[in-house]
Amino acid sequence: MVEDRWFDTARFGMFVHWGHSSQRGIELSWPMVGGNPALPVPEPITIDDYHATAATFDPSGPCVTDGQTPGAYPDLEGRLPAAFDGTAPTTVDSGRTCTADGLGSLVDHDVEVLTYAGATWDLGNRTGVTSVVFAVPEGSLPAAWMAEFYEAGARAGKKTSNVETSRPAFEGTGDAWRLDALNDLSFQSVVTWQDGGIVRVVLVATPVEPGASVDAHDELVAAAVRATVEVMAAGR
């Protein structure tokens, strides 16, 4: 037990840097702090050493911490769109979540492990599209639970405002849930729907700036949903 009660008077916020590199058991960031038992001085680590720990992230073993890396769940990654508007994704990765903080409202539904894969397209000018698939190791994951998960996160966000939910009709999705919100200077939308035992989610972000169009944002949302529905139609 740390006897030094430095934290009681430090008045700092708290940030947790947790991922595959946390296997090293060292503090990697915040180089301007340290020097006390609870938060030691960070150790230096090269970029190559940092990325090397992704190779030892084992998605097949028991889940004890959240983590993601490209290729962790190739079967889920294979269900993602290979292109959006003729362009390959900027990034593709997959992983799993099993901590209470990561699972959020899913804990209330007794979800213990959530696996996922995501493809993201950086379209420039703070505009982006992400297509995600979520699954649980056994059984089916209800889309309503993931819609609840995203809404709870949006309403709890300190920089998130104007949260609105709706039940839109998109061709090929069946029942769908949509969440729209302002996050700082970004207009963000999340569309969630069921695909058999897994859940499909499309996330779209566009900047809030002079001349920005809600219609243009909605057109991008519809296009992102169509790209994912086309993958479903292909049997992936």
DSSP string, 192-221: EEEETTEEEEEEEEEE--TT--HHHHHHHH
Q: Counting runs of H as helices and runs of E as strands, what totals does the chain give?
A: 6, 8
How many Cα atoms sit within 13 Å of 184 on the Cβ side?
3
The pLDDT of residue 32 is: 44
The pLDDT of residue 86 is: 94
Domains of the chain by range and CATH? 1-56 (no CATH), 64-233 (3.40.1000)
The pLDDT of residue 28 is: 57
The pLDDT of residue 33 is: 44
The pLDDT of residue 48 is: 74
Centroid of chain to Cα 161: 19
Bridge partners for 115 per DSSP: 96, 135
Name the stretches of the chain with pLDDT < 50. 1-2, 7, 11-12, 14-16, 30-41
The pLDDT of residue 36 is: 42
d(CA 70, CA 53) in angstroms, rounded, equals 12
Digit-coded pLDDT (tens) for 16-61: 455 566 555 555 554 444 444 444 445 666 777 767 766 666 777 7
What single DSSP character describes residue 41?
P
